[in-house]
Structure 1
């Protein structure tokens, strides 16, 4: 059996980013930049006032001075003239500072009457003025390639006068559930059968990770049916199957895809849950075969599919983000398989994160996974540790699952 880390490294090394496309900025949230976003203007474009008040020369701003108010400068309506000795212009936040002025007298430190303003507190030259280019200058790189765009990034790109951005295409992921015994939610359930949860759960995970899922019709335990369904997904950037990844009489994914040109890289991972896992290619299409067990499928997706989607989206190859936590219960010695303990996540009196594994860890219990907030990671042959020991965990909230 292959080690988890080696399996993930081999998967990620075999993938590349999707091609680039240019889209409207309004549609760019959560997309990954394929090209940097430049500043197409200077922000602010000129010296502007940071407060409401009066623009004047610092030399005229001594306490008690009386200045002639010669105009106004609200935001969007610059004063057309220049300020000379003994003069001031009423200005508002965001208004351009008129030529000749080098200070702002706050309105609460001023008293205006009969076309004149009296300085009640001495001003300092440069105070309350935002200089041109304070935020960025035309030609600056606002956002680098390889960045997943947040709402803050969208705002910055907009401020830089970018109506379009160039991003990587969303990875298209075909999802194929296999098995005679399964039916999609709401469909008739065959005798001795169950409802399939994998396709919908994986589609949600793919969307959360920035991909575009395509749920294929369920393929029965028939080689021709599996091969036909898989061939329909050749236009996708990756095919993800669930079920049929083990060695039983009805585990047919490898057998069905072999005659279609499937090249196997590896299968079987030393991890729990999720030992049966297939990785290979069907022509140019990468194929990730997940276990049919719903808990195993999702845990494997966290460890392999989510990092794969990141690489395909244009992000660096990396394992899932982890958190150092204290255990809320003693942990037994682990065996040779990398274990993932479904756990709640809280804090102790000192605000440190605490992960407490659920008493039952059966890989068939999807309700337990739904309640879990973290996966405590137990490497092969990890020794027993007492309650309160520090271990590594994967917070599940980051994946939207």
Structure 2
């Protein structure tokens, strides 16, 4: 985008009206100029859940760190891995104890799960598969060589790469880092986001619901939010606020002021502040109007003012943009669930649609049966609060019938609202 320009999406074919941009193309435009933020934090893994790796950590030790018994049993020498053997039991080794001296033919050691196996041991026979005769053990089932022994370094060797840059650290990764004795990790610094709502109507009569909703969606370890509050419909004041926020933020996220009326000033204010802006009309329902751009080093994303439209716009476009800025690998987000329509309903074709929906049950194979959770409306919050997720309907669909295959984005799994 050339600096200071106001660009409208080119005309496209669409069933409902011309000029609507497919969401995938809009997402590509937003991501085209986005790069991961510069700067790392060095943290202990315990302080880094949710953060995005900037560099690949390497293991400080091998796993397992020694030859280890996989279960309770008896460590045997190779000479005793034959039918009729009855080696003498020398001692017992529990987890955390030393392996002790090597064993030879005719000798066995009682080992517990996780204990080191002594040198000279070729296999461990499970305790369920032996008969005890005084201080001798008779295997009733002879193990194969190497059986029931976890070998030194079979999981990973010291110096191995553990995780790739771009990994968002979660409980699995913290377990691996702890086991591998990694004391510090390099993670991307948090993405600095300036959040605001725009509109003179927001105040005593109409409460601002978008800012609290978006703030909750931004409440993640890899994001640092500055709340700029509600800005009125004064172009000069908007331009000054945008210019001030651009100097120390990576992203300016706003809702309202983009629908195209004479009271919608955010795109013009961004241009007046010296930024570049592109106004889009999306083939998406709700959330058709949207604008994005850049002011200095800060990217800007301006969402619609209606709550459901702002939510859908953030989830389909804002979240991938934040993932790119944070350096995370999972820009596309989790895949939707396969689902079936619990009942039929009609709709106006032309734009792909996200409907608040609830799970009404499951079919015999376990697929969720979903249905709209209330009357549709991009300003309605009650159906959204009653929903289990968002039901995606393709642009060309005019009639959904009971039993039709659908895609369902559960809030907890797909959009991280829980």
Kindly state the Cα deviation for residue 120 of structure 1 after the two structures are TM-superposed.
5.5
Distance 1:120 1:215, change over 3 A: same
Q: Return 5+ residue gaps in structure 2 as ranges.
A: 1-18
Partner residue, 1:8: 27
> Within 1, Cα distance between the matches of 2:400 and 2:124?
64
Kindly state the Cα deviation for residue 61 of structure 1 after the two structures are TM-superposed.
5.7
> Within 1, Cα distance between the matches of 2:61 and 2:255?
50
> Within 2, Cα distance between the matches of 1:209 and 1:300?
21
Partner residue, 1:213: 225
Could you tell me which of 247, 255, 271 is aligned with 2:268?
A: 255
CA contact 2:76–2:124 (8 Å) conserved in 1: yes
Could you tell me which of 336, 339, 342 is aligned with 1:328?
A: 342
Partner residue, 1:343: 357
Equivalences for residues 62-73 of structure 1 within 5 A: 67-73=87-93
Distance 1:195 1:102, change over 3 A: same
CA contact 1:334–1:378 (8 Å) conserved in 2: no
Distance 1:161 1:274, change over 3 A: same
Partner residue, 2:180: 160
CA contact 2:190–2:221 (8 Å) conserved in 1: no
> Within 1, Cα distance between the matches of 2:97 and 2:394?
65
CA deviation vs aligned residue, 1:337-393 (integer Å, no higher than 9, x gap)? 332222213422332232212451011111111222233333434343422222334
Matched residues, number: 391
Kindly state the Cα deviation for residue 395 of structure 1 after the two structures are TM-superposed.
3.0
Q: Return 5+ residue gaps in structure 1 as ranges.
A: 184-188
Specify the SS of the correspondent of 2:292. Answer: strand
Kindly state the Cα deviation for residue 119 of structure 1 after the two structures are TM-superposed.
2.3
Question: Structure 1-normalised TM-score?
Answer: 0.88
CA deviation vs aligned residue, 1:68-103 (integer Å, no higher than 9, x gap)? 444443222223322123323332222221112213
Distance 1:181 1:43, change over 3 A: same
Partner residue, 1:368: 383
Partner residue, 2:6: none
Partner residue, 1:186: none
Kindly state the Cα deviation for residue 396 of structure 1 after the two structures are TM-superposed.
2.7
> Within 2, Cα distance between the matches of 1:162 and 1:112?
46
CA contact 2:79–2:106 (8 Å) conserved in 1: no
Deviates more, 1:296-305 or 1:15-24: 15-24
Partner residue, 2:105: 85
Could you tell me which of 131, 148, 152 is aligned with 2:168?
A: 148
CA contact 1:55–1:103 (8 Å) conserved in 2: yes
> Within 2, Cα distance between the matches of 1:5 and 1:168?
27
Specify the SS of the correspondent of 1:145. Answer: coil
Kindly state the Cα deviation for residue 316 of structure 1 after the two structures are TM-superposed.
5.1
Equivalences for residues 42-191 of structure 1 within 5 A: 42-60=62-80, 67-108=87-128, 109-111=130-132, 113=134, 116-119=135-138, 121=140, 123-124=142-143, 125-183=145-203, 189=204
> Within 2, Cα distance between the matches of 1:336 and 1:99?
72
CA contact 1:221–1:252 (8 Å) conserved in 2: yes
Alignment root-mean-square deviation, CA = 2.5
> Within 2, Cα distance between the matches of 1:69 and 1:338?
72
> Within 2, Cα distance between the matches of 1:399 and 1:385?
24
Distance 1:260 1:112, change over 3 A: farther
Distance 1:343 1:336, change over 3 A: same
Kindly state the Cα deviation for residue 150 of structure 1 after the two structures are TM-superposed.
2.4
Partner residue, 1:289: 302
Kindly state the Cα deviation for residue 209 of structure 1 after the two structures are TM-superposed.
8.7
CA contact 1:203–1:214 (8 Å) conserved in 2: no
Equivalences for residues 171-320 of structure 1 within 5 A: 171-183=191-203, 189=204, 193-208=205-220, 210-234=222-246, 235-314=248-327, 315=329, 317-318=331-332
CA contact 1:344–1:372 (8 Å) conserved in 2: yes
